[in-house]
Structure 1
Amino acid sequence: MISEGGLFLRGMLIGCAFCILVILLGHIKLSHEPSDPHEHHHIQAPNKEEVLKLMGMEKMELSQSMRVYCIILVRPKDLSLWSAVRTTWSKHCDKADFYSSEHVKAFDSIALNTNDMWVMIRKAIQMAYEKHKDEYNWFFINQPSTFAIIENLKYLLLKKDPSEPFYIGHTVKEGDLDYVDIAGGVVLSLESVNRFIDVMNKPDKCPETGGILWKISEDKHLAMCLKHKGVLAENAEDSEGKNIFNTKSVGTLIKDAMASDPQKVVEGCCSDIAITFSGLSPNNMQVMMYGVYRLRVYGHSFNDALVFLPPVNSDND
């Protein structure tokens, strides 16, 4: 039998452990800023009529002033996707660099020497900022399984000021935190990157490691750090309210739309100015490239109100 003294000691130990757990949980909760009732934002792309109202010179200045730097996070296991991204959509970035967890001989990349995705993001943003802050005003972070249409991204950002703290993508809400799901791509204005670099040097607000009791995903980490600097996640939509950063493939979105309303397969599936589709294979990437950039219908022209020219000296499609 256990003595009364032993039972008392055991109760004390359990009580202490419980108190420590409560303190730790309280610390995690307090690490977030108080919930803002207006924190969930929606940002809409301009409609065609808005763009048509712009003067010719203004259109040209806007299109030329937008400089998108693409950060593509890769690992050696992603080699086939890496190759597909390299020969497809990434050529439409004003500049694209692959940031790899380690050095890989097969492709040029910037080695980060870590397998932790959160640490990779921190290092990649810091290196990109230090090297390119005077050349590019928008930073686009993406994974190799996500296809991106950079011209549509520029259209979304057309009248947005990169000196303002924009943090954009497909938002997800968890508790009092809104974050951009990295599967659909993450867009940061230059000012947001400025603020992230500042908070990154404050371990109490933006730790390099995961949570105390459990690991926090990299996209939540990013949102928590930015929130401390007043940068809130904004869900990007077209003028009809449809998401334009997609965390699923076109095929999956079509199946979902058919299950929801078989009479509106395409209309219920995707926006006409979608920016990303995720979960693609290398072959899917090539098919998307064909459909988006190469297939033409002769005798039919969309007469777009704005033209985004490819980077100078690029082999852009």
Structure 2
Amino acid sequence: MSYIRPLTKCKFTVSLCVYISDDDRVGEELRRKVRILCWVMTSPRNLGNKAAAVKDTWGKRCDVLLFFSSVSNSTFPVIGLNVSEGRDHLTAKTMQAFYYIYQHHLNDADWFMKTDDDTYVIIENLRYLLSTQNASRPVYFGHHFKYINDRRTYNSGGAGYVISKEALTRYGVQGRANKSICRQDGEAEDLSFGECMENLGVVIGNSADSSGRTRFHCFMLNAHLVGDFPDWYYNFSVKAVAKGIDSVSDYAISFHYCRPQDMYMFEFLVYHLQLYGVISGRQDIT
């Protein structure tokens, strides 16, 4: 079902208002063509707040939405994995979740996105990025990081990353069974998964727009606007770190470190807020 957002357009000289609605035909066409499975890494203590906010907001726009934790919960619902909670086992969560998806949902989508339960994602903009990509290629997209004093590069886990169907297939067929290709626990989750993808011949795609602006974001929007970044971010980012409105793509995809109230704020700003008397005529530049 298409999403219709009503807008009132009024002439100031007469008391006449004409009701119009957004034209979302392009978005609906992309929804049919670009199928996305989203899976969210969460924990039992976060189901009632963070995970619930994802479910209430952006998660409902995914073609398939799954939550993974260490304990199953059929009411929410959430899928329990055979892994302990804690940062030391985030790699195990990710590897087991992707293998579960390979076993049960490989043909339900073309692209498979992993996020944390404090990441907000604008699914329409993700579909737009992926609309020019081929899911049969071994590729994945996100915010490009590098390991300090190392040649390894990978995509940030917090900002969320999305892998192609071919990348998931390679992991399911080759990576899961061979720990020398894909470690199954330990080290940083996003670094471990990036190393796994590299060993499987999966390349990191360019997620910046044509002006070099970022689409996947490791922090909340305000941090990227004012440049309130920790030192490690400068060391890990592959591209030079920029700040300000002109550094963030108009077609931004994700923001990390969102509280539940931030999720609902994004939901209102992106999908409900209107400028009275203004109808946007901007055309896209990728």
Q: Distance in 2 between matches of 1:104 and 1:60?
A: 32
Paired residue secondary structure (1:236): coil
Higher relative CO (Cα under 8 Å, sequence separation at least 6) belongs to 1
Tell me what 2:175 maps to. 199
Tell me what 2:246 maps to. 267
Conserved in 1, the CA contact under 8 Å of 2:73 and 2:79? no
Paired residue secondary structure (1:97): strand
Q: Distance in 2 between matches of 1:153 and 1:176?
A: 28
Tell me what 2:93 maps to. 120
Residue 95 of structure 1, CA deviation: 1.4
Conserved in 1, the CA contact under 8 Å of 2:119 and 2:256? yes
Tell me what 2:217 maps to. 246
Gaps of at least 5 residues in structure 2 are 1-24, 229-242
Of 107, 129, 134, which residue of structure 2 is paired with 1:161? 134
Residue 298 of structure 1, CA deviation: 4.5
Tell me what 2:42 maps to. 74
Conserved in 2, the CA contact under 8 Å of 1:125 and 1:193? yes
Give the RMSD, CA atoms, in angstroms. Answer: 2.4
After TM superposition, the structure 1 stretch with the greater mean CA deviation from structure 2, 237-246 or 293-302, is 293-302
Conserved in 2, the CA contact under 8 Å of 1:249 and 1:278? yes
Q: Deviations over 1:66-100 (max 9, x none)?
A: 10000111012323111111100101111111111
Paired residue secondary structure (1:240): coil
Of 73, 77, 81, which residue of structure 2 is paired with 1:108? 77
Q: Deviations over 1:153-204 (max 9, x none)?
A: 0000111010011111001111110111100001000001011112221122
Paired residue secondary structure (1:184): coil
Q: Distance in 2 between matches of 1:188 and 1:304?
A: 30
Tell me what 2:195 maps to. 224
Corresponding position: 1:294 with 2:272 = yes
What is the letter of the counterpart of residue 38 of structure 2? C
Q: Distance in 2 between matches of 1:207 and 1:266?
A: 39
Residue 105 of structure 1, CA deviation: 6.5
Corresponding position: 1:129 with 2:98 = no
Corresponding position: 1:84 with 2:53 = yes
What is the letter of the counterpart of residue 199 of structure 2? H
After TM superposition, the structure 1 stretch with the greater mean CA deviation from structure 2, 122-131 or 228-237, is 228-237
Tell me what 1:65 maps to. 33
- Cα pair distance change 1:281/1:209, threshold 3 Å: closer
Conserved in 1, the CA contact under 8 Å of 2:119 and 2:159? yes
After TM superposition, the structure 1 stretch with the greater mean CA deviation from structure 2, 240-249 or 110-119, is 110-119
Superposition pairs of residues 3-82 of structure 1, within 5 angstroms: 63-79=31-47, 80-82=49-51
TM-score (norm 2): 0.77
Conserved in 2, the CA contact under 8 Å of 1:68 and 1:138? yes
Conserved in 2, the CA contact under 8 Å of 1:196 and 1:229? yes
TM-score (norm 1): 0.70
Q: Deviations over 1:12-59 (max 9, x none)?
A: xxxxxxxxxxxxxxxxxxxxxxxxxxxxxxxxxxxxxxxxxxxxx999
Conserved in 2, the CA contact under 8 Å of 1:63 and 1:158? no
Q: Distance in 2 between matches of 1:155 and 1:105?
A: 33
Structure 1 stretches (4+) deviating beyond 3 angstroms?
A: 57-63, 298-306
Gaps of at least 5 residues in structure 1 are 1-56, 211-215, 258-263, 307-317
- Cα pair distance change 1:106/1:63, threshold 3 Å: closer
Q: Deviations over 1:125-162 (max 9, x none)?
A: 11112222122100010001110000000000111010
Conserved in 1, the CA contact under 8 Å of 2:140 and 2:167? yes
What is the letter of the counterpart of residue 152 of structure 2? L
Paired residue secondary structure (2:108): coil
Paired residue secondary structure (2:107): coil
